[in-house]
Structure 1
Amino acid sequence: MREKILSLAKGNFIYETPKLCISIEKLVFEVTAGTHGTASFLLENSFGTRVKGFGTVEEMCIDFLPFFDGTKNELTVDVDAGELNPGEKLKGNLDLITDCGEEKLPYEITIVSPVLRDEEGEIRDYPTLKKRIEKNPEHGVDLFLAPEFRDAFLYRDESGRILYDCLLKKNTKLQSLEEFLVAMKKKKAIRFETEHPSGRELIYELDGTDKADAITIRVNTWGHAGIHVRTTADFIEVQTHVLWTDEFVDRRDVLEFTICADKVPAGRRHGDLILQTPYEKKVIHIIAHNRIGEKERKIQRARKKAIAMAIRMFLSYQEKRVTREAFGKFLKKNREILEKISGTYEQAVRGYIAVILREKENILSFFQETENLKMPPLGKSLEEVENYILIQFIKIMDSERKEDRIGLANLISSYAENGYQSDLLTYLLTQVDERYRFGHLLEKDLRTQLESGSNSPLLYSAMMLAYREDATLISSLDDVTINAVNYGLKRDLTTKEVSLAVSFLGERLPHFDARVFSILQKLYEFFVMTDTLHGICGMLIRNEIRDAKYFSWFEKGVNKHLRLTDLYEYYMYTIDTEKVRTLPDAVLSYFQYENHLNDRCKAFLYAYLVKHAGERPEFLEAYSEQIHKFVERNLAHHRITEDLALLYEACVTEETLTKEMADDLSEVMFSHRITCGNDRMDGVAVVHRETKEQTYYSFENGQAVVSLYTPNTQLFFVDERGLYYSGTVDYRMKKMLSMEKLAPVCYELGARNPKLITHLAYKAERSAKMTDMQAVVLQNALQMDCLRRKMREKILLCLYDYYHREGMAEPLFSLIEQFNPITLKRERIADVAADCIAQGKYEKAQVMLLRYGVPECDKDAFSTLVEALVKEHKDESEPMLVKWALYLYHQGCAGKDAMKYLRRYYTGDLITFTSLYEKCRKMPEVGADEDITERLLAQVLFVGASQEPYEPIYLEYMESGENRMLVKAFLSQLAYDYVVERQELSEPMFVKIEKEAMYEKDAVMVLAALRHYRLEEHFASKQKEFVEMNLEKFASEGIVFAFMKDYIGKVNVPFEIENTVIIQYYSGAPGEILLCETDRDGKVKKTMPMRQVFSGVYVYEMLLFDGEEKYCYIEEQTTGERTEVMCARRTEQAKDALGFFHMLNDMIAAKNTGDMELYGSLRRRYEKDCFAAKKLFTLQ
């Protein structure tokens, strides 16, 4: 600006200012909410020359204050959309103040939602995002991790951001993406199915070679999950141990596996193929059959089966459970098989069958065949001895001679003494030895054999028959006795006496024996004896067995009114609280006076009484004192179960609640039970949107009791590796207590649990009209460190509104200290800032309003802030402070200091500047000082604006202004504009120009004075002298203007001015200005350059005689612009003009009119004067 003023003061004028050329007609672009956005445009001029200037904008969200000085200027607009919402539009103008003039560039800036982008374009919604992920999971993860994802998809979604952050902290990237989408309900959780023609049990027949097979795995949706594969048997070998679902094709994949034949021994082997994700498990059972030796194994199994069947039938006959006829039919039917499988004993078996069937011929044949059979000597095999003894036993069966029986008994004993002992020999001895008529001897010898390791049904049968005869033989419940009784139960040989003996001993066992208990159960089911029931319950009580599966026995005991210590306690310990609907009166009466139950059982009992109070109110009344003490004690330990919850709700009321109870109740008030059936989950982490803390609860049997004190919770299930799952894990949640109505009462009684305070704060901040107590709660909440920033801000704003409504100035003053000016909600900035200003907290208010809110802020408060700030920064220009002061000016409420600040630092368009100047002049306390006057006048000159409106300001400044260069420049520009016919002169301005012309002799001033004098008819001598002298001077310098011809006939005019036709043209275009002479048809005859006699003024002078005409037009060489064709001709000359040119011109005129006499006279005079002049100049 200073450069241009200096140039004007020196007389350097520009006739035509280049036009500004802006690359756009309107600045239109979008900015993402919450970010900064920029846009640029180019500024140049029509001549391609340097453009100087600066830009301004009044919009506070836009930064545009460039200074430029170049031929091509790229100007950038910066928009701060940090506090702007999607859908908002910024509209207005950018002001460009240049040496080529002022221009307003309109802008329209739209605030849009954040957008996620990739090389394929914008991703504005989840369906588009899902397509990208399905197409390329790795690229999908990159998009998910991009900062733009949070801005675009979680814009102002606090719950979504918490979910996003927690998953990324704990999980892999792909797993986080999967869990996030499922939790946000944007995709289904991955579930899989296995497909095989044989279903889920696969059978493989092996012939010595491996078998390869495959299972098809199909998932229900796209996504990322690992299906882990393991086996329970080494003969199953899988191709891979993990299948990743994002690598499936068409949502299918194949798991190949091999059954290794060398790892399957002869026979069948079983194993499981287990496929498991974090969400589910599939088990495929595999059976591998090695067929080597299959035939032999079948024969062996059939032989064993036949032998077992034969032994069972034999013992049934011996135990008199089947008749001899039935047994005979069996033997007769299966004779061939029995003989075939007998081996060494075939002869004996054949003889036995003959004796049983009473077949005389076969018996005779048997006796004949064995008549000469020799007794095996010592040293022979046990099998030979057994066969010999068995044959002798069969003979005795037929003969039934007593001496033979005694002899055989002695023989068996003799062999036994020599080491020949076996189950068969022992059994045969029991059948022939007379000693065994005494049960205790029989039991003793059988026990000795059985304790040595025998497990023969022959011996157990014999022992059980002995017990049937004499139950007192049962003296202990060792393995032998247990096995014998168990055998008897299976063979229906047990008696009531046996049952009583076993029950008596069982009740007194020092430890719990599952086999004894099983026998007692069977005995009770068979005989339904009270003693047996007593024994069962006694065994369970003595060994403190409290499993629910034993409840039925205690229930039977209670119903039978057994006199058994702790029976009723164990009834309660084993009761299934989910199934039992009623409790016997005996149970309810029993615990009235002496209750030693554990807390779980007491809770159930008391809850039962409460639930059935309408049916049996007398019991509830009897237990009332017990129940209340129990409730207080458990509440003090913060215990919670479903039964305790019912008791708390029944017993804890607003009337009964004490301070101590209030503290304890607030700990359990918000309890919920979570049940998760996924055995891979170790626990659950709970995150509340209101608090920063994350609380982890371990699962016990798939359950955990958690505290959910506001509805804004996020659950993360945690597996054994610490990975988080949200949305993909199935679970059930049950609210345990409904006592939130007592939360305010707890608080009033002094409870200050963070859960309680957060719960009440959540309720308070959502309340339509806050109460005094809620205000106190919110004050307490602010003292907690666990609150998240957004919750803290909500509380502050709620209290702010409350204090305002109640007119509580002092608390409000204290509260404002706690506001964070950077994070305060934009909708509330204006109000809070106004209060900050009222309390003198200008710095905090300034930070808030720099973000947003000036238009909404109270004008008086804002004016106070600006007044304070401009005083502080009076010696420095702050762009935003200038905008704030200007805003107040436009609103009509700018104070004196704001106006002074604008007076000193405002830069902007000339109209606003002028208005501001006038406002300052009207305010005596502000005034328009010399500085603003200088800047205003300088800007008028800089932008080339019309000077006429500013002449009064100039005239005033001219008298006392210090910047004489500015005075000179302004007057020079005005004089120039008058000279080139762009502006007329007012009388006061002409006086100033005339003075400069008379005394300073400045060319532009002299020319302006000459142009002004041309209209006068008479001149004072001094004026005439001034005119003639300067006309002569300019003519001698070749500077002629068309207006100078107006002086012809008034003063002495130089020949060049008087006798030529002056063609004058104004142009600011670079390059030559050409005068093109044409014929009448417009054809160019010749071209002559016009002469520039002053800045922007071009002339061409022609000497034309009377009647002579020339046709021509003017053309700008560089722009190509041209005028219409014009005709140049001589106008009438002055009377009595002297000179040879005038003589010739008069002669031509006389000849053209036909006045030959005048023509002759003029010619003689011309010739005479020429001769005289020639002689005169020759002599010189």
Structure 2
Amino acid sequence: MKEKIEQLARGEFEYELPFLRISVEEISFSVEAGKQYEASFHISNSMNRIMKGIVLSSDRLLTLGISAFRDKECIVTYKFDASFLKPSDIVSGNITILSDCGEAVLPFEVHVKAPVINTSIGKIKNFFEFANLARMDWTEAKKVFRSEEFERIILKNEEKYHVIYKNLLKSISTSQALEEFLIAVNKKSRINLGINKTYLEYEIRDEDLIDKLIITKNHWGYAEIRVSTDAPFITLEQKFLWADRFIGNNHQVSFVVNAQKLSPGINYGRIYIRTVYQTITVDLICKKHRDSNPETAAIRQTMKRRYDYTKSYLDFRIGRISLNRYIQDTKALLAGVNNPEEQTMNKLVEIHLAILSENKRTAAKLLDELSKEEVPLRKRSIFEYCAYLYLLALYKRDEETIQYVTDTIGRYYLSGSYDWRILWFLLFTDKRYERNRSYKLADIREQFDAGCRSPILYYEAICVYNEEPYLLRELNEFEIHVMNYGIKTNCLNMDLIMQYTYLVSRLKSFNSIVFKGLAILYKNYEKEEILSAICSLLIKGFKKDSKYFHWYSLGVNAQLRITELYEYYMYCVDESRMDPLPQPLLIYFIYNSSLNDSKRAYLYANIIKNKKDNDQIYQLYYKTIEVFTLSQLKAGNISRNLAILYKEFMNKPIHNKLFSEYLPEVMFTHELICDNPNMVSVAVVHKEMEQEETTALCDGKASIQIYTQDASIFMIDSFGNRYAVSIDYTLIPLFKSEEFHGIFMDYDGHTKLLLYLFDHYRINRVISRDSIELRKHILQIQGLKESYYIDCLLTLIEYYYENYDVNMLEQYLLKLDLSKVKDSHRIKFLEYMVIRGYYDKALEALRCFGVEGISIHRLLKLCSGWITYARLDKKKEPFIYLCYYVYSQGKYDETILSYLVKYYNDSTADMLALWQSALDFDIDTRILEERLLIQILFTESDHKENISLFLNYYNKVTNHLIVRAFLTYYAYKYLVKDEKIGDELFPIMRRELNYEENDICLLAWLKYNSNNTDLAENDLNFISYNIDRLDRQGIVLPFFKDYKHIIKLPRRITERYYVEYKTNPKKQVFLHYRMLNNNENGEYITERMANTFLGIHVKEFVLFYNEELQYYITEEQEDEVNTSESFVIRNKADDMLDNSKYNRINKMLIALESEDMTELLDMMEDYIETEYIIRECFVPLS
């Protein structure tokens, strides 16, 4: 602007000021509440020249990307901030453009609309519409769910779901989080699966089998489905399914049964279909038909027959079947043998049956037949040969035969044929085994160590042990397997059982086979020794699972004297049961207390629960329980049993102080029980706190803290997904609120108790001294959510305002950030700030959310008070907006006006109105006038107040450059543009000309006074001097002739006629003229008119009497030519008053025209004489 003012002061003007071109006539748009809107418009000018200017916004919500520009074309970006506006709000204002091409005001109007999210199904803004989107396009719904707009728009009026939304977003799977959210807001139900079959049975031969299952779902939505199998012969086509990809509500799961991986016979397998909510099991039975190869079938038949024979034999030996039944079953087995290779073995079995049945004739016959084949038999099969020898000895029973058989069989056995069957023959022929049965056990053990697991040998060992139990001296693997067989077959005698029980009690570690065997023995005999061995074995194995409680309970009830028996009873006991514990156990733990704290808590809780029935035990334990309870309380431990202990002592006056200090940390504990095996932890989110509390589930249980209403509980699965409502759980409070309400507790330092009480006061709207003191402590809690911090702060402020506690009110007002306060409360608390004079905070808040709805009187106090008390003397844009808003509402005072006078800038019209208001208050307006004058000159804008503004400023002028520029500019308009200006300016121009030269003002003043005949002497001298000076400079304007009646002018001015044309000095001006004499028209003569002064083109002519000059003018610029109308100039008779040479000639022409020859001759004579005298008597000045 300064550059433009200097140009005007120097008399540099643009004849034609280009006009601004703005790409839009007005700005009108809609914006969503809570969002920002950005756009732009273009500024250019009609002459496409470089322009300079500034842009201003009348509203704080619409900010401009630039404040100044200098270019041929300018793009102005603007941003509208609707962050704190509400739907249906309308904001209007102006963008003012001040440039050296003029001033323009661009109006804008903004309509605030309800926020929506644009989707493929249209605009959505609530849960119902969002649920429709999820149903139609799950993928797009996920993107919306994760976007910032979801919480801002969909959840805007649903505060209770904000916590659920934010915490579900922590899930690993966005789809699962979305599914759970829709369930939580009651827009869909949980997906449950069904299946068409849960049992499948197939008969498989050599080819693979392909089949499918059809899974159905009951609702739309998302579910991750895992398909698995426990059978290697089942191959699944898909291991993962997603419910949103079902066709309709069905999906096929194909699988293949691999024939090559099936074993002959019946194969079992399962297919599991799992979601986080359910597991569906499909049982498969695949019957693989055996190979039809005759050889293989024969082998299988032989193996089955041998198994059946062995079983039948052992049943006979053990006594389960009679001899006749054994013979009968065996003959039936032999009848089905057709294989020639088994004929020898069949004969051997027949001989054995004949001997057992004492059919000596048949036995002798068959032995005789085999004796004839003895040599081939020996070569063919050593086992069959040894069997023959054994039967021979069994038949004859003489010493010689027995010795021969024993030696022969022993030789074969020791020569490398360590066949357990051959050993079995020896066991019945070798006298050595009868003399020392330990040899028999040793050889059987040798076979066991070699890998033999024949039940026949097990039975032979059992027989030895039954006869001589003392031979069972230790329990190694062999002995354990033998005794286990004996227990299963129930063939142990009592002495052996007792010996076994004794050895078990000496074992150093747990053995599952031994335990199962003892359990069978105890079931059969219920011997205390067996029970003692069982309990000892379990204790050595550190078995503390509840499934072993039965044995410990039996042991305790039997009052067994086993180290740690009572402790292990306690480890395994079901703590949910509170029936009285055994009396011996209670007496034991009076003096022996090696239990861990958890079990001690159960023990003591059980005693307390049953104290009415066993007061004596209660009294004996009382002091111990008390000490334990207080130590656990101090340690901050809590469980269901500890809660019982705390309740027992917390109402005793002697412990009031201790419970007041420590109970608040544990009394809000709840036990959560969840049976879903997929859940691994639980997160508790209190709406008042930023941080969540996560606890791992142990056996489906967790202890969590819940101390305010509506706390949110999220179950977390092993993949990290969260569930708000769809997973079932049970929540059991360890304390009921009425149980601790009568206890005085100091909440200082106890966050949980503070928030519990705060929640109670807030819900019940309790405002008292106690609740106010509590809120002061709430403000100090680390991690408190901002919304609750503000809520607490507002309550304190309102309380102290209503109770006139100025100091406390100020303390909390200073902490309040008004931008965080809800719209419905914000105005009231802002007014509190204004009342208390906290202007900085109030202004900062107003800058964010505006002044709508606030009392204009409060705003007036804010503005006026801040300026006064803060001695504000600097430019602050937000404050300027606020002050002008107050002023625009017609409520203002001298203080606000003075501030605006100093700093307000906007359109010239608005600033002129402000200037007028300031004048009414008699305020010093020079600084505003100076800004206004500069703005008016810069933009060359025309307002009716311009002259009066200048006149007021001129009275107390501070910047003479502005005065010179203004006068020069208006002089130019008057002189060149022939515009009417205020008469008051011309005396000022005359005054300023006394101090400095200014030809524009001078010429304007001369033009203005050219018809003034009432001028002072000094003005006449001034006029005469300057016209003469201008004449010498070649500046002669037609109105100079008007002064001929009051001052003496040079005849070359007075005797001339002037053609004047005003236009842009950049144009070339041509005069086309011709003389009109005696009605004769000559040709037009063309001459270029000189630019005499700032676009005033003047051409002078000498016209004698009765001469006429006809002319027209053309102006040219580049390729453009403009032609004026035709004009005529005539010689005027009243111009011949003086006796100049020029006039004397004109008079002669008049006499000539009137044919007054005498007069003509006299004038001619006089003219000649005068010219002669002048020529002879005067010499021209050099």
User: What's the TM-score once normalised by structure 2's chain length?
Assistant: 0.69
Cα deviation, residue 92, structure 1:
1.0
1:399 — aligned with what?
none
Q: How is 1:125-164 mapped onto 2 (pairs within 5 angstroms)?
A: none
The equivalent position to 1:804 in structure 2, one of 801, 806, 810, is 801
Q: Is the 8 A contact 2:475 2:504 kept in 1?
A: no
Cα deviation, residue 737, structure 1:
1.4
Instruction: Label 1:109 to 1:368 Cα distance change in 2 as closer, same or farther (>3 A).
Output: same
The equivalent position to 1:908 in structure 2, one of 903, 906, 924, is 906
Amino acid at match of 2:749: R
Cα deviation, residue 91, structure 1:
2.7
The equivalent position to 2:547 in structure 1, one of 546, 549, 555, is 549
2:390 — aligned with what?
389
Cα deviation, residue 955, structure 1:
4.0
Residue 18 (str. 1) matches residue 18 (str. 2):
yes
Q: How is 1:165-314 mapped onto 2 (pairs within 5 angstroms)?
A: 299-314=298-313
Q: Is the 8 A contact 2:1105 2:1131 kept in 1?
A: no
| Greater Cα offset, 932-941 or 645-654 | 645-654
The separation in 2 between residues aligned to 1:473 and 1:1030, in whole angstroms, is 156
Q: Is the 8 A contact 1:506 1:516 kept in 2?
A: no
The separation in 2 between residues aligned to 1:621 and 1:1162, in whole angstroms, is 169
Instruction: Label 1:873 to 1:176 Cα distance change in 2 as closer, same or farther (>3 A).
Output: farther
Q: Is the 8 A contact 1:17 1:1068 kept in 2?
A: no
2:940 — aligned with what?
944
Q: Is the 8 A contact 1:392 1:408 kept in 2?
A: yes
Partner-residue secondary structure (3-state), 1:334: helix
Instruction: Label 1:300 to 1:921 Cα distance change in 2 as closer, same or farther (>3 A).
Output: same
| Greater Cα offset, 726-735 or 51-60 | 726-735
Amino acid at match of 2:770: M
The equivalent position to 2:656 in structure 1, one of 655, 658, 666, is 658
The separation in 1 between residues aligned to 2:985 and 2:10, in whole angstroms, is 19
The separation in 1 between residues aligned to 2:1093 and 2:810, in whole angstroms, is 72
Q: Deviations over 1:1008-1060 (max 9, x none)?
A: 56766688899999999999999999999796669989999999999999998
Q: Is the 8 A contact 2:976 2:1096 kept in 1?
A: yes
Q: How is 1:779-798 mapped onto 2 (pairs within 5 angstroms)?
A: 779-787=776-784, 792=789, 795-798=792-795
Amino acid at match of 2:910: T
Q: How is 1:381-420 mapped onto 2 (pairs within 5 angstroms)?
A: 384-393=385-394, 395=395, 404=397
1:352 — aligned with what?
352
Partner-residue secondary structure (3-state), 1:25: coil
Residue 752 (str. 1) matches residue 749 (str. 2):
yes
Cα deviation, residue 908, structure 1:
2.8
Q: Is the 8 A contact 1:20 1:43 kept in 2?
A: yes
Partner-residue secondary structure (3-state), 1:93: strand
The separation in 2 between residues aligned to 1:1129 and 1:153, in whole angstroms, is 83
Q: Deviations over 1:340-359 (max 9, x none)?
A: 68676544323334456787
Residue 97 (str. 1) matches residue 98 (str. 2):
yes
Runs of at least 5 residues in structure 2 that lack an aligned partner in the other structure: 1075-1083, 1176-1182
Q: Is the 8 A contact 2:1110 2:1129 kept in 1?
A: no
| Greater Cα offset, 690-699 or 183-192 | 183-192
1:1081 — aligned with what?
none
User: What's the TM-score once normalised by structure 1's chain length?
Assistant: 0.69
Q: How is 1:690-705 mapped onto 2 (pairs within 5 angstroms)?
A: 691=689, 697-701=695-699, 703-705=701-703
Count how many residue pairs are aligned between Structure 1 and Structure 2: 1122
The separation in 2 between residues aligned to 1:787 and 1:274, in whole angstroms, is 46
Instruction: Label 1:449 to 1:1041 Cα distance change in 2 as closer, same or farther (>3 A).
Output: same
Q: Is the 8 A contact 1:604 1:643 kept in 2?
A: yes
Runs of at least 5 residues in structure 1 that lack an aligned partner in the other structure: 397-403, 1079-1084, 1150-1157
Q: Deviations over 1:737-762 (max 9, x none)?
A: 16474788778335633444455556
The separation in 1 between residues aligned to 2:1040 and 2:285, in whole angstroms, is 120
Q: Is the 8 A contact 1:270 1:286 kept in 2?
A: yes
Amino acid at match of 2:658: E
| Greater Cα offset, 896-905 or 643-652 | 643-652
Q: Is the 8 A contact 1:223 1:245 kept in 2?
A: yes
Amino acid at match of 1:749: D
The separation in 2 between residues aligned to 1:373 and 1:1126, in whole angstroms, is 161
Q: Deviations over 1:278-326 (max 9, x none)?
A: 9999999999999999876654443333223223334444555444544
Q: Is the 8 A contact 2:1040 2:1053 kept in 1?
A: no
Instruction: Label 1:154 to 1:1047 Cα distance change in 2 as closer, same or farther (>3 A).
Output: farther
The separation in 2 between residues aligned to 1:224 and 1:1073, in whole angstroms, is 89
The separation in 2 between residues aligned to 1:434 and 1:962, in whole angstroms, is 146
Partner-residue secondary structure (3-state), 2:733: coil
Cα deviation, residue 212, structure 1:
14
The separation in 2 between residues aligned to 1:315 and 1:1018, in whole angstroms, is 161
Instruction: Label 1:428 to 1:811 Cα distance change in 2 as closer, same or farther (>3 A).
Output: same
Q: Is the 8 A contact 1:659 1:750 kept in 2?
A: no
Q: Is the 8 A contact 2:383 2:421 kept in 1?
A: no
Instruction: Label 1:230 to 1:266 Cα distance change in 2 as closer, same or farther (>3 A).
Output: closer
The separation in 2 between residues aligned to 1:1095 and 1:132, in whole angstroms, is 76
- CA-based RMSD: 7.4
Amino acid at match of 1:311: T
Amino acid at match of 1:666: P
The separation in 2 between residues aligned to 1:260 and 1:243, in whole angstroms, is 24
Q: Deviations over 1:459-478 (max 9, x none)?
A: 66577789999999999988
1:927 — aligned with what?
924
Instruction: Label 1:205 to 1:637 Cα distance change in 2 as closer, same or farther (>3 A).
Output: farther
Amino acid at match of 1:389: Y
The separation in 1 between residues aligned to 2:530 and 2:8, in whole angstroms, is 130
Cα deviation, residue 93, structure 1:
0.7
Q: How is 1:859-1008 mapped onto 2 (pairs within 5 angstroms)?
A: 859=859, 862-863=862-863, 866-867=866-867, 871=871, 873-874=873-874, 877-880=875-878, 882-887=880-885, 889-890=887-888, 899-923=897-921, 926-929=923-926, 931-946=927-942, 949-958=945-954, 961=957, 963-978=959-974, 984=980, 988-989=984-985, 992=988
1:1153 — aligned with what?
none
Amino acid at match of 2:733: L
Cα deviation, residue 390, structure 1:
1.4
Q: How is 1:601-640 mapped onto 2 (pairs within 5 angstroms)?
A: 629=626, 635-640=633-638
The separation in 1 between residues aligned to 2:1141 and 2:324, in whole angstroms, is 184
Q: Is the 8 A contact 2:667 2:734 kept in 1?
A: yes
- Percent identity over the alignment is 22
| Greater Cα offset, 725-734 or 1164-1173 | 1164-1173
Instruction: Label 1:504 to 1:896 Cα distance change in 2 as closer, same or farther (>3 A).
Output: same
Q: Is the 8 A contact 1:829 1:853 kept in 2?
A: no
Instruction: Label 1:801 to 1:538 Cα distance change in 2 as closer, same or farther (>3 A).
Output: same
The separation in 1 between residues aligned to 2:820 and 2:536, in whole angstroms, is 71
2:329 — aligned with what?
330
Amino acid at match of 1:913: M
Residue 737 (str. 1) matches residue 733 (str. 2):
yes
The separation in 1 between residues aligned to 2:1005 and 2:27, in whole angstroms, is 47
Q: How is 1:769-788 mapped onto 2 (pairs within 5 angstroms)?
A: 769-787=766-784
Q: Deviations over 1:545-564 (max 9, x none)?
A: 55433445677789xx7565
Q: Is the 8 A contact 2:168 2:723 kept in 1?
A: no
Instruction: Label 1:191 to 1:418 Cα distance change in 2 as closer, same or farther (>3 A).
Output: farther
Q: Is the 8 A contact 1:16 1:1096 kept in 2?
A: no
Q: Is the 8 A contact 1:194 1:215 kept in 2?
A: no
Q: How is 1:410-559 mapped onto 2 (pairs within 5 angstroms)?
A: 450-451=444-445, 453=447, 457-458=455-456, 514-515=512-513, 517-523=515-521, 525=523, 546-552=544-550
Instruction: Label 1:979 to 1:424 Cα distance change in 2 as closer, same or farther (>3 A).
Output: closer
Partner-residue secondary structure (3-state), 1:105: strand
Cα deviation, residue 106, structure 1:
1.6
1:72 — aligned with what?
73
2:43 — aligned with what?
43
1:667 — aligned with what?
665
Q: Is the 8 A contact 1:406 1:433 kept in 2?
A: no
Q: Deviations over 1:216-255 (max 9, x none)?
A: 999999999999999999x999999x99999x99999999
Q: Is the 8 A contact 1:460 1:487 kept in 2?
A: yes
The separation in 2 between residues aligned to 1:27 and 1:1087, in whole angstroms, is 53
